[in-house]
Chains A and B, each alone.
Chain A
Amino acid sequence: MSPENPFVPYLATVKNVVTLTPDIKLLGLELDDPTVRDNFSYKAGQFAVLSAFGVGEAPFCLASVSHPKGELEFAVRRIGTVTSSLQELEPEAAVGVRGPFGNCFPLDDNKGQNIFIIGGGIGMAPLRPVINTILRNRDDYGHLLIINGARTPQDLVFQAEFDIWASSPRTQLELTVDRGHDGWKGRVALVPAVIAELNPSPENTVAITCGPPIMIRFTLQELRKLGFQDNQIITTLEMKMKCGLGKCARCNVGDMYVCKDGPVFTCEQISKFIEQF
């Protein structure tokens, strides 16, 4: 964050643009100022506010694992004016980055536990750094079960990394789609149905989920049916934001600011929110 004015972004340059799905691209950015780059460290679950100069700003979760020399990666789904503009950027284009903001997934506390990751569509973006952090410290964690759902097979996100994930030790990757097509041999089922089918034990397990609100609602139902307690289920919320700094009170759900007190919350916390999300 620029020390003077928190609304003025750091300048960054687009290094590479990878098309993940028909409407999602992975942007790899490099912060221009080396000193900023060195101490721009973040954890899985944190987000940054990207500037599409000429259009505006919007918050995006950091999809990469923090590394001083590494690029900042953001999965951007074409959905509005800022995302469309970001998607049209070519390498070497200038963007603005404000952040890192928000809290992070409590991966340190989850050490020794089994991790059950449930992602839907672009919801995989905040979960990707969780998976990669676990895989880099594989022995610290128990069994890793990943369900990655999407509308159609071509909408599955981070397909290039499926083999790495699936072949990692004590790791199980389950893909599912709402609507398959003739070439698709995998599972065709809604994510909550897959949860019921896999029936993982809640014993010493934490469930981390992110996806469209409709999926989250039914995923929570299934998890509770399996015996998962609300403090064993963690999700990350998405709200319209304008500052990202806990200042403009735009992203509040009840008395909680998603940008400052979140975006990561346990379902126990969410159930105590005065306002329904």
Chain B
Amino acid sequence: MTQTISRRNLLSWLGRLLEERLLIAPTHTTGPILFQPVSKIEDIVLDFDNTALSAKEWFFPATETLFWAETTDGRTELVPATVEREAVVFGIRPCDAKGLALVDKAFLAEPADTLYQQHRDKAVLVGLSCRKASPQCFCTSMGTAPNDPTHVDILLTEVEEDYIVQIVTEKGKALLPDNLLLESKVVPPPPPSPPVVSAEGIEEVMRQAFDSPYWSRLADRCVHCNLCAYVCPTCYCFDIRDYESKGKIERVRSWESCQSPGFTRQAGGYNPRASKGARLRQRFYHKLLYFPEDFGAIACAGCGRCVQVCPVNIDIREVIADIQTIGGRNVP
């Protein structure tokens, strides 16, 4: 027996949540669809492929203050930033949730990034299964699926006018009152099946291919912007600098990407990884070799955003297939 919730009950439940919590959901902007705080339930978009930026931006924001420091008559006091409001992230796709789980492996490993931890603890993830796969999706090849409930607190799967509800965690259970749920025998629709990218044994092949000229040829066309890293649900590189105004100091952390020119340039100017080829290679080595070695999983959720936004079509699926070929594992 599956539990379902009607569209009307779903929206009224979200309306109630709106009063007490920060409700973040996909909404239209004058640009692309983005996860934004919702002020009116009507703003929530339920029919969308995926947001331009992943939900990562609400846990590891593009810009965030780590702490404030104030010096009053010779005494300096540090005030760490904290996350106050409880939040609900509604409409997160399974691939973004998997992305968060991958970032958790790095940020929550000892010593845990407590600010990120607060963002995660104080938010409930209400996932929305995908009804159709975009041409760039390949989540099933990266250990998740269009209806994978593993990394969300509640998973909704649209079926005609209602939604099948899968309560996954205690957090989800506590948030969704039972009286809104109906028992039903409706069968979930078959999930879309994006094309398969065979990434088995990619680590071994990557280890062989480090000095291959493939990387510098791939980098020929790369323009080295930060786009692929900023839209990626699993990229977590950052820069830290201070802001000072009228004696009050603010330490700010912002996104940065391994493609930016100064990423490894030291203050004296020495830059061990200066060439374009080496920087682009670093992106794929971190995702397909270093991260798996450290944390046991490929640092990719298969959401396909980098493939979609890359100005010059650097396609990670093509890179994986090419590297398998170079490594002699020419998978049909």
Interface residues of A (CB under 8 A from B): 1, 4-9, 11, 51-58, 79-83, 92, 94, 96, 212-213, 238-240, 242, 245-250, 252-255, 274-275, 277
Contacts and interface: CB of A to CB of B under 8 A. Distances in A.
Nearest to B112: A6
Contacts of A94: 71, 76
Given A7-B66, A53-B76, A239-B266, 12 more contacts: A6-B111, A8-B78, A51-B251, A52-B242, A56-B242, A56-B251, A57-B251, A80-B267, A246-B109, A248-B238, A250-B263, A274-B210
Interface of B: 66-67, 69, 71, 74, 76, 78, 80, 106-107, 109, 111-115, 207, 210, 236-242, 244, 249, 251, 253, 263-268, 270, 272-273, 278, 282, 285-286, 289-291, 293-294
B329 to A, nearest CB: 19
B266 A240 contact: yes
Contacts of B69: 53, 96
A249 B237 contact: yes
A231 B279 CA distance: 30
B80 A8 contact: yes
B272 A277 contact: yes
Given A7-B67, A255-B293, A275-B210, A213 B270 contact: yes
Contacts of B251: 7, 51, 56-57
A11 B80 CA distance: 13
A9 B114 CA distance: 14
A82 B267 contact: yes
A54 B242 contact: yes
B74 A92 contact: yes
Nearest to B210: A274
Most A Cβ at <10 Å: residue of B74, B78, B107: B78
A127 B263 CA distance: 27
B236 A239 contact: no
Contacts of B282: 252
Nearest to A92: B74
B290 A245 contact: no
Contact of B207 (A245, A248, A274): A274
A55 B210 contact: no
Most A Cβ at <10 Å: residue of B266, B272, B293: B272
B106 A247 contact: yes
Contact of B240 (A54, A57, A81, A245): A57
Contacts of A8: 66-67, 78, 80
Contacts of B266: 238-240
A162 B289 CA distance: 47
A255 B289 contact: yes
Pairs of residues from A and B, 10 with the lowest C-beta to C-beta distance, nearest first: A80-B267, A54-B244, A94-B76, A6-B111, A56-B241, A79-B267, A5-B114, A255-B290, A7-B66, A5-B80
Nearest to B203: A255
B203 to A, nearest CB: 10
